[in-house]
Every structure is written in C-alpha cells, then in structure tokens.
Amino acid sequence: MASLQGQQRRNVETQNSASLSRRIVIISIIIAFHAACRAQEAPPVDTLPPVKDTLTLSEKWPVPKKALLWSIAPGGGQIYNKRWWKLPLVYGAFAGIVYSIDYNQGRYRRLKTALALKLDGLDHEWSGTTLDNARTLRILRDKYDKNTQLSYVGIVLVYALQGIEAFTDAHLRNFDISDDLSMRIQPAPATHQLSGAPLPGLSIRLQLNPHTPAYGK
C-alpha cells in the first residue's frame, strides 16, 4: 500500500514537472516571437525639424557698426576686432599727447606767472637769465599756449582715428584676399582726341570678391 502511494506521488510530481517545462517552453516561444516582430518593425521617423546652423557670418567676421560703437572707449574697437597688437599703438598715442598737454600747459602757466611778475617789477623764476625780458617771456608764453591747444586738437584726432581705423579694419576683413581674386589684363585701344589716330592702350581689371555676411542687428 505504501509503495502504491509512493508511486502515485512520483507520477504526480513527474506530471507537474512536465507541465512546468511545457509552460516554460511556451513562454520562451512567445517571447522569441514577440522579439522577432519588434525587430521587423520600421524604425521610428524623427518628425522634429532639422536644427539649422545658427552660426552666421556676423559671428565669424566683425561687424563695422559694432566696432565703431566699441570705439567709444579708446581701444575698444581694436579689442572687438581682436587686433590686440594695435592696443599699444592706440594707448601710446594717447599717453604721448596727454604728456604733451601736461608739459606745455605747465610751461605756459609758469611763463604767464613770470610775465605778470616782470610787468609788476618783481623777481620771477627766470630773473637774471636770458629770459628776463618781458618780450621774450610773452613770446614763450604764447608758444606753449599754442602747443597746448594743438595737443588738445591732437587728442581729438587720435580719438577719431582709432574709431575710423576699427571701422575700416572690420569692413576690410569681410573681403576675400585669397588666391581666388581675379585680375584681367587686356588691350584697350584708344583714339587721339585731335588727330583721331589710334593709340595703344592697356586695361587692368581687379575683381574683389567681398563676403556677404548676414550682419546681426
């Protein structure tokens, strides 16, 4: 009796094991079939519009108007154009003119004071020297006064020139200076205005190809 029950128990376990194996096989087949179907599906289409290259030529080449605006500060236009080597020239010119103003203005004030003292019959800085003369003091005073005024004009000119240079440099950098420039040399016969006789002539044409940057606003 005990052996019969043991045999039945083993049969049940065998049936359960076989049933579990069939389930595993069926599930594996379903998973494999599903994976094969997914592999055959077409890849999803990207419906997003292509991203445009927003890098314009205004970011590659300096804009002349912006260079001029940057030039409000001395040397600003050269900094905007990334012409760093020009900064010592700009600031050197300003420093030289400022020194000239300070020197000539100082001389003018000293001579003006000396002339006033001389006219009052008092001793002054150059008493007992070759400059101890009202006429000489007046000439020198006017000379240094004129130099001071010219120095002020010079600083205005340097300020204007550094802005013009920055604007021109930014504008010229938009031109093609590569080997693609074309130059044509061809005969161009002419006629003498009085006699009407033919004259030999030569025509030279240089074609520049400027870039057309889309300057930003």
| Buried/exposed 208-217: b ≥16 CB within 10 Å, e otherwise | eeeeebeeee
CA-based torsion, 159, 165, 168, 173: positive or negative: negative
Provide the pLDDT for residue 97: 95
Partners of 206 in the β-ladder: 183
Provide the pLDDT for residue 64: 87
Provide the pLDDT for residue 202: 61
Low-confidence ranges of the chain (pLDDT < 50): 2-7, 11-12, 14, 17-18, 32, 36, 39, 42, 53, 55, 57, 212, 214-217
Pair of tokens at residue 27 = 């599930």
Provide the pLDDT for residue 215: 46
Task: Tally helices (H) and strands (E) across the chain.
Answer: 6, 4
Instruction: Report the C-alpha gap between 46 and 41 in whole angstroms.
Output: 15
Provide the pLDDT for residue 173: 77
